A and B are shown apart, each in its own frame.
Chain A
Amino acid sequence: MTDSKYFTTTKKGEIFELKAELNSDKKEKKKEAVKKVIASMTVGKDVSALFPDVVNCMQTDNLELKKLVYLYLMNYAKSQPDMAIMAVNTFVKDCEDANPLIRALAVRTMGCIRVDKITEYLCEPLRKCLKDEDPYVRKTAAVCVAKLHDINAQLVEDQGFLDTLKDLISDSNPMVVANAVAALSEIAESHPNSNLLDLNPQSINKLLTALNECTEWGQIFILDCLANYTPRDDRESQSICERVTPRLSHANSAVVLSAVKVLMKFMEMLPKDLDYYSTLLKKLAPPLVTLLSAEPELQYVALRNINLIVQKRPEILKHEMKVFFVKYNDPIYVKLEKLDIMIRLASQANIAQVLAELKEYATEVDVDFVRKAVRAIGRCAIKVEQSAERCVSTLLDLIQTKVNYVVQEAIVVIKDIFRKYPNKYESVIATLCENLDSLDEPEARAAMIWIVGEYAERIDNADELLESFLEGFHDESTQVQLQLLTAIVKLFLKKPTETQELVQQVLSLATQDSDNPDLRDRGYIYWRLLSTDPVAAKEVVLAEKPLISEETDLIEPTLLEELICHIGTLASVYHKPPSAFVEGSRGVMHKRLPARTGSGESTESPDVGTAAGGSAPEAAPSIIPSQGDLLGDLLNLDMAPPTTSGPPPPTTGMQMGGMDLLGGGLDSLMGDESEPLGGDIGGSPAMGAGFGAAPAVMPASLNAPVGGGLGDLFDLGGVGMPMGAYIPPKIVWLPAMKAKGLEISGTFARRAGVIQMELILTNKAMSVMTDFAIQFNRNSFGLAPAGPLQVLTPLGPNQTIEVSLPLSTVGPVMKMDPLNNLQVAVKNNIDVFYFSCQYPISMLFVEDGKMERQVFLATWKDIPNDNESQFQIKDCHLNSDAASSKLQGSNIFTIAKRTVEGQDMLYMSIKLSNGIWVLAELRVQAGNPNYTISLKCRAPEVSQCVFQCYEAVLKN
């Protein structure tokens, strides 16, 4: 059989010949012709002109021929929709064929033909095939529903195929179950909010049963689906883990990785002190190591995932360093990944081995690999303090090799080592300086210049060295230019007498001859600093630098969590969330790890316990997903920059005339012999623009941290109030996932008559956040911030700040649903975020809410009975006096008390900030923990909220 001949027809008039052959009477000839057509199609030739002739061959008993015609149809039906109809009859007939293989073939192919008219005819056969007696047909039909959904989602819903598909999850055949799960998962992805994959303990159990029986691919579908489920408590989580762990011994690496994904996710929910938890950790290591003996491409996928796992749970692989040693024959992509993981696993215990390996790698051939190995040595030095000395001497050895790129990498990492261990290894500077001439890469040049500038006082010829760089200033890359500018300014501040000329030269090069705005701005800033206040300049430029952190390339925690939920998939290979590379709505839903919620006694954190205990009827905060959903005026918010909220800018120093910028101030620094530099500078037109930017670069640390607020003083059980108003516990309003790393939690309180919104801002991103501002949408009671959000210091990564924001009730009013809903917008330097939260209405109860008895009586009668609503408060064990004084703390005033047949009747009044009065009658029966409360108000819609407050106050 030599089918390859079909690939070699290139003569003209081919289509015409084929047409004749397709219409031949001889079966063999027909088949030959169709094969030729398919071969041409494969190479990319357009053979759509033959459509009718090929479709004519469809009616055949020869299955091979039929399959070829189907293949052709799938490719060209879209371009010839009208003619494709010709095929419908054959499909419908084939769906009734006695042979299940033919029925399945027909339904499979029909689903691949994306022509509306054909799709219409597909519904009936598909419905039958979904209930076919043969499992082979059913498993094919299950996938076909996903195909149809891709073409016409509405049709699938209207025809009720989704329900049939759901039924197939309980099918007796494991492969049908697996395909149904795959199809449902895919459909569910494009409907993120639908509850299509209604996963509950029963259906999970079915899936786990099918897991043991289906093909390797089916197991992957099921495990990937399981990973989307969130168990209700740690027991359920454990029992699923127990049933998934055997999969770790599967020969198929994808099954193993998907099982790892499920385990990594569900493990989050297990209490750490559980024996099972540590057993599970131990079970995870061997299969991960085994993945490294797979084919190189799979090794690559595995290594990218291990990189994530090691960041999330370093304990799993901490003893397995050796398996990540690079083999000489590994493909380069495997080598580079292994290197990354080696550094992550490096610790004091294994550092000697790691260093010996890295040194070995630094002599390899592949340039990228060698560079990475050298860099890795530096990272080890920074990570494992005890090894720093050895690392530095290894790096010096490498510099001695004089291999150009090795030297350059070494210098780049040595700069970082200096930052980490100041005043320890500076003796090597001399060696570094010897290699100055061989540096031709910007990063290495910049690093070297930084070193020279930073240690200018120890390098005798620092000025000469820097001057030599200055000659080709304009040919350098921006990175080097910026570094050179800073280094020379440092040098000048350290040795002002000899280097005026140099600094003047670099400042004018940066500000006048460069068109790079960054460079110009930095130039102006230095210039002005030097001219206004040289002492301050010294403080700013030569300020003590914060030590650099150990791990420089960790993935942001929120992203890491999301990627853990995507183990095994492309996202975990790219280390990017799916939304970064998938178009459309698919897979854009962010996945999160489940929170650790114990089932009762096993909760470890006391916070959780109290939060669960206080059954405050607060609605979970909802995030306003996008700006599009917002009401008009929230969109029009003019987010004010924080300048108004910060302390008044230090203007005093800035009031000097624009002309003599470098004047008097410098003299004091440089001594008498200096000649004024100011002359030729003042005229620079851009000066004014740069001027305004100056205060912005003043390091924020100069402003003493003013975190918290006065509100914190009262936090200790409400010292300032007789009883203490009820303050609900803080809850998370805006999770970091939704706000690029900013997490906001908070609560509302009324302290000494002032309504306060108490916020905790946490920066879970890797970059510093600044410029915070807040605004509210119009709301039911006209709540509005009474002042700006006082976040004065920038919020560094992993920092938390507590802020309390006083609120006024004079803002614009709009009735919200629910009544106490508040929509909030928070801005920072990254973006604007929106969320909504609900405040307890009790904070609107004013202090002068005590009504005169007579007025009360009259008002009670005056309000129509329709406005009265009754509620039950259950399980409250206070007596009436305790209740009364407790309520008073929240400005709910008891006016009168009556006792009738052992039942205390308390009459109370409340005044809301907008002047609405609420009257209440609370009935307390001794020995009965259930209170009855009747509320009367002219605005009955507040009753529900008021009742919630009663409940919250009484139960806390």
Chain B
Amino acid sequence: MIGGLFIYNHKGEVLISRVYRDDIGRNAVDAFRVNVIHARQQVRSPVTNIARTSFFHVKRSNIWLAAVTKQNVNAAMVFEFLYKMCDVMASYFGKISEENIKNNFVLIYELLDEILDFGYPQNSETGSLKTFITQQGIKGQTKEEQSQITSQVTGQIGWRREGIKYRRNELFLDVLESVNLLMSPQGQVLSAHVSGRVVMKSYLSGMPECKFGMNDKIIIDKAGKGGVTNEAGKSTSGKQSIAIDDCTFNQCVRLSKFDSERSISFIPPDGEYELMRYRTTKDIILPFRVIPLVREVGRTKLEVKVVIKSNFKPSLLAQKIEVRIPTPLNTSGVQVICMKGKAKYKASENAIVWKIKRMAGMKESQISAEIELLPTNDKKKWARPPISMNFEVPFAPSGLKVRYLKVFESKLNYSDHDVIKWVRYIGRSGIYETRC
């Protein structure tokens, strides 16, 4: 198991060091600094073995978190734990920075004592941690409160405490998708997938039982066989159902039920959480198409023309559109002409950045640029990185639709109808690249 956990700043100074196992000594702290943080070369692996000691590290801004062990630990678990650790710290004191860590080092030690015991990760849900790791002491608690804390920390529903009350029962549901694309210069889709998340904010009283339904192909097909075909036929919004390649769920979701019936039922945590993640690869709506044209005019000039086309309903508006056209390292000057939005050559980023605030569906826009190059004797050819794009659209590129979200709370007297529900779809660009 994890033998120790260290946090360093960018210089390699230790900010936090907590040792859990006897086989990890102080020299481990230095070994990591010398061999990884101060290493001359770029780090080639997130797992490093130095003198039979293994170091796992992740970096957040310029802070290094390193877990150390001498055993054959579950490597995936160690990384998951490090991410979790970052989440917990972030939810206590915001950004993970040297300043914040130094300011909260006592708290961090207290957290480390609680969520890692002898190197074994323990309950690390911020919701329940915040009930008893408060930096205020736990003096004032009554016996009932204490046992409530412990039963929640160890219990089956560790993510929700009892006795939550809201005057207004409200639910916010966001379908957030990032659409990823790699396209060849000729417009052939090399790979495309949507990775989506269903993020919820729930403000519900009691211990409500929720059931979430979407246009999952497997469910719809099953229901279709049952004789409800004409209902599905009425739907006019393009695709009726989507094929989900794979999905993962928050730990509140009953996995065995999903496995057997494919229904998503759960008792939600309070406040904001991620209910599920999913991935689709079939019938993706690619909101934009990028058509590049690069011409080398002699050894000192490049002509670039890029057309973007929006490919969704004209009534919808895409926002925050940004096209990034990479330029060679030996660029000396750039002239840009674009019909819409603003374009600028950013020498420090080796790219022309073209920004458009809004663009409706089924439109087209273009940019052309002349790039002047300094003559070099560098034999190596310019690698021509792909043209990348960022945008935000108000629909789900995967075609996912929320069909229902039902809330049942039998003990308190509110019903599904009394809950106010909000649903929103946002599609963003992930890695959306076109080779040129």
In the complex, what distance in Å separates the CA atom of A578 from the CA atom of B21? 18
| A136 in contact with B153 (CB, 8 Å) | yes
Say yes or no: is A706 at the interface (Cβ < 8 Å to chain B).
no
Q: Tell me whether B258 and A249 are in contact (CB under 8 A).
A: yes
Which B residues are CB-close (under 8 A) to A6? 105
Q: Tell me whether B110 is interfacial, beta carbon within 8 Å.
A: yes
* A-B interface contact total, Cβ < 8 Å: 286
Given known pairs A3-B102, A63-B138, A328-B386, the reply for A568 and B150 (CB within 8 Å) is no
Complex interface bits, A220-263 against B, C-beta within 8 A gives 1, otherwise 0: 11001000000000000000000101110111111011100000
Contact B154 A173, beta carbon cutoff 8 Å = yes
* B168 within 8 Å of A (CB atoms): no
For A98, the chain B residues whose CB sits under 8 A away are 143
Contact segment of B10-18, B218-226, B330-338, B410-418: B10-18
Q: Is the CB of A570 within 8 A of B73?
A: yes
Cβ of B190 and Cβ of A135 under 8 Å apart?
Answer: no
A42 touches B146 (CB 8 A): no
Contact (Cβ within 8 A) A99 B248: no
Q: When the two chains form their complex, are residues B74 and A175 in contact, meaning their CB atoms are under 8 A apart? A: no
A573 near B47 with CB under 8 A, answer yes
Contact assessment for A42 and B105 in the assembled complex, using a CB-CB cutoff below 8 Å: yes
Q: What are the residues of chain B within 8 A of A301 when measuring CB–CB? A: 47, 75-76, 79
A64-B135, A67-B109 known; A328 and B72 CB under 8 Å?
no
B259 touches A135 (CB 8 A): no
Best-buried of B45, B80, B123, B191 by chain A (most CB within 10 Å): B80
> Of the candidates A146, A220, A258, A325, which one forms a contact with B182 in the assembled complex, judged by CB atoms under 8 Å apart?
A325
Task: Report whether A293 and B279 are in contact in the complex, using a CB–CB cutoff of 8 Å.
Answer: yes
Q: Does A114 contact B (CB under 8 A)?
A: yes
Q: Which of A38, A67, A134, A403 contacts B113 (CB 8 A)?
A: A67
A contact residues, range: 35 or more
Query: Are the CB atoms of A101 and B150 closer together than 8 Å?
Result: yes
**Interface secondary structure of B, over-half rule:** mixed
Inside 8 A of B79's CB, which chain A residues have their CB? Answer: 253-254, 295, 297-298, 301
Per the bound structure, the CA–CA distance linking A365 and B22 in Å amounts to 44
CB distance from A689 to the nearest CB of B (A): 40
Q: Which residue from chain B places its CB closest to the CB of A137 in the assembled complex?
A: B150
Comparing B114-122, B228-236, B390-398, B421-429, the segment that makes contact with chain A is B114-122
Residues of A contacting B80 with CB < 8 Å?
Answer: 216, 252-254, 298
A295 → B minimal CB distance (Å):
6
B42 to chain A, nearest CB (A): 7
Complex: how many Å from CA A108 to CA B16? Answer: 20
CB within 8 Å for A4 and B103 given contacts A258-B74, A401-B381, A582-B72: yes
> CA of A572 to CA of B74 in the docked complex: distance in angstroms?
9
Tell me if B154 and A176 are in contact (CB < 8 A): yes
A333 at the interface (CB under 8 A from B): yes
Residue interface mask B305-342, A partner, CB < 8 A = 1: 00000000000000000000000000000000000000
Q: Does A147 contact B (CB under 8 A)?
A: yes
Q: Does B155 contact A (CB under 8 A)?
A: yes
Segment at the interface with A among B51-59, B287-295, B354-362 = B51-59
Instruction: Evaluate contact between B106 and A38: CB separation under 8 angstroms.
Output: yes
Q: Which of B205-213, B249-257, B364-372 contacts A (4 or more CB under 8 A)?
A: B249-257
Q: Which one of A139, A297, A404, A568 has the greatest number of beta carbons of chain B within 10 Å? A: A297
The residue of chain A having its C-beta at the shortest distance from the C-beta of B46 within the complex is: A297
Chain B residue nearest in CB terms to A402:
B379
Given known A-B contacts A143-B120, A212-B255, A322-B191, A568 and B77 have beta carbons under 8 A apart: yes
Q: Is the CB of B155 within 8 A of A173?
A: yes
- Specify which chain A residues have a CB less than 8 angstroms from the CB of B22 in the assembled complex: 114, 150
Closest to B112 in A: A71
Bound state CA distance, A44 and B113, in angstroms? Answer: 19
For B347, list chain A residues within 8 Å (CB): none
A68 to B135, CA, bound (A): 12
Partner of A333, one of B44, B102, B431: B44
**Candidates B105, B132, B384; contact of A101 at CB < 8 Å:** B132
**Chain A, Cβ-Cβ closest to B248:** A251
A254–B74 CA distance with the chains assembled, in angstroms? 8
Q: Is B151 engaged at the interface, CB distance under 8 Å to the other chain?
A: yes
Contact of B118 among A75, A143, A254, A302 (CB under 8 A): A143
The answer to the question of B104 belonging to the interface, with a C-beta cut-off of 8 Å to chain A, is: yes
Q: Are B76 and A213 in contact (CB under 8 A)?
A: no
Asked if A323 is an interface residue, CB under 8 A from chain B, the answer is yes
Shortest distance in angstroms between B183's beta carbon and chain A's nearest beta carbon? Answer: 12
Q: Which residues of B contact A401 (CB under 8 A)?
A: 381
Q: Does B71 contact A (CB under 8 A)?
A: yes
Q: With an 8 A cutoff between CB atoms, is A332 at the interface?
A: yes
Q: Which residues of A contact B408 (CB under 8 A)?
A: none
Cα distance A134–B75 in the bound complex, in angstroms: 31
Name the B residues within 8 Å of A213 (CB-CB): 156
Given known A63-B139, A295-B83, A322-B190, contact A100–B150 (CB-CB < 8 A)? yes
Contact indicator A134/B147 (Cβ below 8 Å): yes
Expressed in whole angstroms, the minimum distance between the Cβ of B199 and any Cβ of chain A is: 13
> Looking across the interface, which residue of chain A has its beta carbon closest to that of B178?
A293
Residues of B within 8 A of A176 (CB): 154
* B301 touches A (CB below 8 Å): no
Choose one: B72, B109, B254; the contact of A571 (CB below 8 Å): B72
CB distance from B148 to the nearest CB of A (A): 11
Contact size range, B = 35 or more
| Closest chain A residue to B151, Cβ basis | A135
**Binary CB contact string for chain B from 271 to 283 against chain A (1 if under 8 A, 0 otherwise):** 0001011010000
B149 within 8 A of A: yes
The interface residues of chain B lying within 8 Å CB-to-CB of A14 are none
Which of A283-291, A774-782, A880-888 makes up part of the contact surface? Answer: A283-291
Q: A220-B77, A253-B76, A569-B72 are in contact. Are A111 and B118 (CB under 8 A)?
A: yes
Question: In whole angstroms, how far apart are the Cα atoms of A215 and B259 in the complex?
Answer: 19
A323–B124 CA distance with the chains assembled, in angstroms: 32
Q: B109 contacts which chain A residues (CB < 8 A)?
A: 38, 67-68, 71
Q: Could you tell me if A2 and B103 are in contact, using CB atoms closer than 8 angstroms?
A: yes
Q: Which residues of B contact A42 (CB under 8 A)?
A: 14-17, 105
Contact A573–B251 (Cβ < 8 Å):
no
Contact A403 B379 (CB under 8 A): yes
Residues in B neighbouring A543, C-beta threshold 8 A: none
Q: Which of A54-70 contact B (CB under 8 A)?
A: 61-64, 67-68, 70
In the bound complex, do residue A328 and residue B385 qualify as a contact, i.e. CB atoms below 8 Å apart? yes
Residues of chain A within 8 A of B124, CB atoms compared: 215, 217
Contacts of B386 in A (CB 8 A): 328
Q: Roughly how many angstroms separate A243 CA and B256 CA in the complex, as a whole number?
A: 8
Say how far B262's CB is from chain A's closest CB, in angstroms: 10
Give every chain B residue within 8 A of A363 (Cβ-Cβ): 381, 383-384
Cα(A175)–Cα(B109), bound, Å: 23
Give per-residue flags for B154-166: 1 if the beta carbon is below 8 A from chain A beta carbons, else 0.
1110100000000
B177 adjacent to chain A (CB < 8 Å): no
CA distance A353 to B138 in the complex (A): 62
The reply to whether the CB of B265 lies closer than 8 angstroms to some CB of chain A is no
- How far apart are the CA atoms of A256 and B246 in the complex, in Å? 12
Identity of the chain B residue whose Cβ is nearest the Cβ of A4 in the assembled complex: B102
What B residues does A175 contact at CB under 8 A? 122-123, 153-155, 158
Which residues from chain B contact A327 at a C-beta distance below 8 Å?
A: 182, 431, 433
Taking a contact as CB atoms under 8 Å apart, the answer to whether B29 and A44 are in contact is yes
Contact of A251 among B102, B132, B138, B251 (CB under 8 A): B251
Pick 12 A–B contacts, CB within 8 A, sort by A: A63-B139, A71-B109, A101-B138, A101-B150, A112-B118, A147-B118, A215-B122, A250-B249, A253-B76, A258-B74, A258-B77, A325-B182
Interface contacts beyond A147-B118, A298-B80: sample of 12 additional A-B pairs, CB < 8 Å, sorted by A: A61-B139, A100-B150, A114-B22, A246-B256, A249-B248, A254-B79, A258-B77, A297-B79, A333-B46, A357-B190, A574-B49, A583-B52
B interface residues (Cβ-Cβ under 8 A, vs A): 1, 13-17, 19-23, 26, 29, 42, 44-47, 49, 52, 54, 56-58, 69-77, 79-83, 99, 102-106, 109-110, 113, 117-118, 120-125, 132, 135, 137-139, 141, 143, 146-147, 149-151, 153-156, 158, 182, 184, 190-191, 193, 195, 245-251, 254-256, 258-259, 274, 276-277, 279, 379-381, 383-386, 388, 431, 433, 435
